[in-house]
Structure 1
Amino acid sequence: MKKSTGCSILSNSDKTTKGMIHVLSTSSIANLCKNIQDNFNIPTSIASLFEEIIDVNSTRPTADVVCPCCGGKVHVHDNPVTTLKDMPWIPGKPRILRVRFHRYRCQKCGHTFNENITFKYPGTRVTSRAALWIKILLMHQMTIKAVSDLTGIHWGTVSKIHKEIMDEALKTRSEELRKSGYRPKHLAVDEFAMHKGHTYATCVMDLDMGDILWVGAGRSIAAFTKFFEETDLEYLSEVEAVAMDMNASFNTLVEKYLPHAAIVYDRYHMQAQYGRDVLGAVRLEEARQHKEKADNLKLGITENIAEEQATKAEDSIKEENRLYKEVKQARWTLLCKEETLSDKKAENLKEILKKHENLTVCHTMKEELSDLFELRNPDLAAVEWEKWFKGAEESNIPQLQKFARLKRKRKEGLIAHSAHPITTGKLEGFNNKIKVAKRIGYGYKNDEYFFTLIRYSALPSIRNGTV
């Protein structure tokens, strides 16, 4: 066994350290020998303060090998060397195996092939026990970068091993569900941002089990079509309802591939859009009018105006500015349900609505909109939704009329909520996990790996931390 000499002059502490390295290395190599299968031996090793290099040579008799193509006898054609990274005996101190193996040539057909290195993990340049170590670290939710830094193994190799772990877990989960005869009843579909520049992906979740069934790049009809092409439609045969928002055209594909399933438009997207496009727009319009009145009153104050009139105008300006500020800052007061407001804010809301007729109408319609989603009788829901749309269209408030005109086209999906009270909320919450995963990983270059990670993160054992 050989050791590197390092510097020619060593202090006592250096000598002690190198002595410890020699003892630990010898013990570690003995352990390594147990993990290397027959037909390989370790003639030499070099250990330093920074790394350990171990030579591993093949000793397999040629007589034991036959050609995999014709079964003929072979001879050693070459003895190439490959390097493998092994589990280090001290973290941060790489261990490298220089493996010399046989390359054979058939004496009959001329076919050449390499000797199988039994302790090499397939498709990588690491040993099987190093791969096992990486798997254990990854299963404890360590990031790819953290594992790479700890093991000294390239992040690409760690990522490949992680992908295999995830694929195996997803396959096992799929087989468990199919063997149990499980069929999803309620689905949710939504999109999420992947990269800057408006690049999106579409995600489908089983709302009952919490599993992510599919993730695909894009949010177009063509992109979502791949879900139905890549998923066994028999597995989706018992789907009763699919929750989605109204922004995408996902409904057309659900109607085509799952005609038995009801389309349910998400209440929270609907209410959020109402708060932004109707209540918010009308609030800002009212605030703008107060600002314009104040500015016009200022222009009316000249040197020729009587002192009494000037004082009255200044008071009006102050009042208009006060109302402008009050309405401008009332966003959350108007959006919250009245019963959740404090006494002070409830009084403030009452004062605002008293002085702004359009805001009063829009706020009342907002409360009624929320109540419509609490209905559980489809027949009653159909009647009440029609009343709401009619009232909105007769309000003479442009923002409210436009909103009602657009949403009336999707009325059936709104009524369906009464029979299937599901939302995309669970999927929206999971999208936050996706954002965290992107932030931790500083983004992902490989979409396939990222999509697999999303599905893997939704597995019950991973969600609940029971791995």
Structure 2
Amino acid sequence: MHNQYTDLLVNLPEVNVQQIVEIDEQTIHIQVVPKSRKQACAICRSDRSVIRKGSNQTRKIRHADAFGKIVYLLAPAIRLFCKSCHAGFVWRYSFVGPGKRYSTASEQQAIHTASVSTVKQSAEIHRMPASTLQIKHQRWLSVESERLRQLAWKEAASSRHLVLGIDDFAIRKGHTYNTGIHNLRGETLLDILPGRKLEELRDYAHKHPEFLALRPKAVVMDLAPYYHAWIQECFPDALRVADRFHVTRYVIDALQAVRKDVQGSLSARARANLKAKHRLLNPQAASLPPEKQQELQEILSYSSLLQQVHAWKEALGEWYDGAPDAKVAAIWFDRWLGQGEHFQHPAVATCIKTMRNWRTEIVNYHSCRWTNAAVEGRNNRMKAFQRRHYFTRNRERYVQGLLVECNRERFGT
């Protein structure tokens, strides 16, 4: 049984499907033969003197699954002889390696599934030994991660307006951290550093001259002093920008501290309502749906201090969105800090002290309007990868997996 649709199913231009030998509940066996009569000799690279000398036993090759069944190709192992070189060899198929039992399409299908789940799950789905798939996946991961790394670094090195993003993420929260280096314009992950201490960052820069060879226009990071000291040493001419998300987080924490103080002086019913709806204070009020805005106004009515500090927090968002340039932004920012000093609250005072210490880096946002929002999203993908792969202990495999996880959509696989 054979028709033109069987050739489309197999999708191998170098062979013709002769017949479908067997179909059962789990497998499909398809007999194929080469389209060409001769093949070039591996020594003289010519097929003029090549003759056929029979065939060995049929090769059984696992191909890509179809219709929920395992597909096997039955291909003849044709014996060839070159009369010019006096060399004998066996027919080489481009879709499968010499002596291999899995076609390239079959390997790619299983590896693709393993890259978005786990090797064990992919092996169960494709009904193949997990140890076999593990070897193939690691070999592919090594090659693919190096390809993506080279593309990402080449793009970063050639960029005239490179903007880097630096941020850490936890391996074991409170104990072990990694630091990611990101190309914000290129939307790629460049590398993963072990740790986040200044000595560890300096050691990485010393061992990776390609990093020091970059010429970033700006570097976006949080308010960790060790990051700013490191970037100042590596790229003294780069603009250091305090990430908007982390700056806003300081103000929100101060607002929530005020809320906790106010909460204790309210009636039981108002206290419970404010505690239940305290998260409405965090986002910009304009981003909330109408019913949530009404609930927000209700809890703000409990305290004039809470209402004023919330308005102060909202003004920071307007400053980020509305300041036309860095010069005007600096004037508006100083005015905003002065407004906060009138509240006479310890949490707000601590927040303002931090804002003044990092004033230059915060205002620099208006010279280079980039944030680490994409980096935070990529960090979430990394954490999901860690949970999915049970915190891979091999450091090299771990970094390779993260590079593929974060860059494959940008450059393809």
TM more than 0.5 = yes
Q: CA 1:391 to 1:429, structure 2 compared with 1: closer, same or farther past 3 Å?
A: same
Give the alignment of 1:430-449 within 5 angstroms: 430-449=378-397
Shift of 1:127: 5.4
Give the alignment of 1:82-161 within 5 angstroms: 88=62, 130=102, 132=104, 135-137=107-109, 140-143=112-115, 144-149=119-124, 150=126, 151-152=128-129, 153-154=131-132, 156-161=134-139
**Following the alignment from structure 1 to structure 2, what is the Cα–Cα distance between the partners of residues 367 and 331?**
15
Residues 393 and 404 of structure 1 are in contact (CA less than 8 Å); yes or no, is this contact kept in structure 2? yes
Shift of 1:404: 0.8
**Partner residue of 1:170 out of 148, 165, 187:** 148
Residues 338 and 346 of structure 1 are in contact (CA less than 8 Å); yes or no, is this contact kept in structure 2? yes
Q: Secondary structure at the match of 1:232?
A: helix
**Partner residue of 1:367 out of 295, 314, 327:** 314
**Following the alignment from structure 1 to structure 2, what is the Cα–Cα distance between the partners of residues 166 and 211?**
15
Shift of 1:160: 2.6
Gaps of 5+ in 2: 1-21, 23-28, 43-55, 73-91, 93-97
Q: CA 1:451 to 1:259, structure 2 compared with 1: closer, same or farther past 3 Å?
A: same
Identity among equivalent pairs (%): 20
Deviations along 1:337-363, one digit per CA (max 9) or x if unpaired, are 333445554444445434412212211
Gaps of 5+ in 1: 1-16, 18-23, 39-43, 46-53, 55-85, 95-118, 120-125, 291-319
Confirm whether residue 281 of structure 1 aligns to residue 257 of structure 2: yes
Question: 2:286: which partner in 1?
Answer: 339
Shift of 1:288: 1.5
Question: 1:209: which partner in 2?
Answer: 186
Shift of 1:247: 3.7
Residues 178 and 193 of structure 2 are in contact (CA less than 8 Å); yes or no, is this contact kept in structure 1? yes
Q: CA 1:131 to 1:228, structure 2 compared with 1: closer, same or farther past 3 Å?
A: farther
**Following the alignment from structure 2 to structure 1, what is the Cα–Cα distance between the partners of residues 154 and 292?**
53
Question: 1:398: which partner in 2?
Answer: 346
Residues 135 and 165 of structure 1 are in contact (CA less than 8 Å); yes or no, is this contact kept in structure 2? no
Q: CA 1:135 to 1:236, structure 2 compared with 1: closer, same or farther past 3 Å?
A: farther
Aligned residues: 342
Question: 1:240: which partner in 2?
Answer: 217
Kindly report structure 1 stretches of 4+ aligned residues shifted beyond 6 Å: 89-94
Question: 1:379: which partner in 2?
Answer: 327
**Following the alignment from structure 1 to structure 2, what is the Cα–Cα distance between the partners of residues 196 and 348?**
34
Shift of 1:156: 4.4
Q: Structure 2 counterpart of 1:444, which letter?
A: T
Q: Secondary structure at the match of 1:136?
A: helix
Shift of 1:209: 0.8
Q: CA 1:175 to 1:135, structure 2 compared with 1: closer, same or farther past 3 Å?
A: farther
**Following the alignment from structure 1 to structure 2, what is the Cα–Cα distance between the partners of residues 395 and 367?**
15
Q: CA 1:188 to 1:458, structure 2 compared with 1: closer, same or farther past 3 Å?
A: same
Question: 1:190: which partner in 2?
Answer: 167
Larger gyration radius, structure 1 or structure 2: 1
Q: Normalising by structure 2, what TM-score?
A: 0.69
Tell which deviates more after alignment, 146-155 or 433-442: 146-155
Shift of 1:412: 0.7
Q: Normalising by structure 1, what TM-score?
A: 0.62
Give the alignment of 1:25-104 within 5 angstroms: 88=62
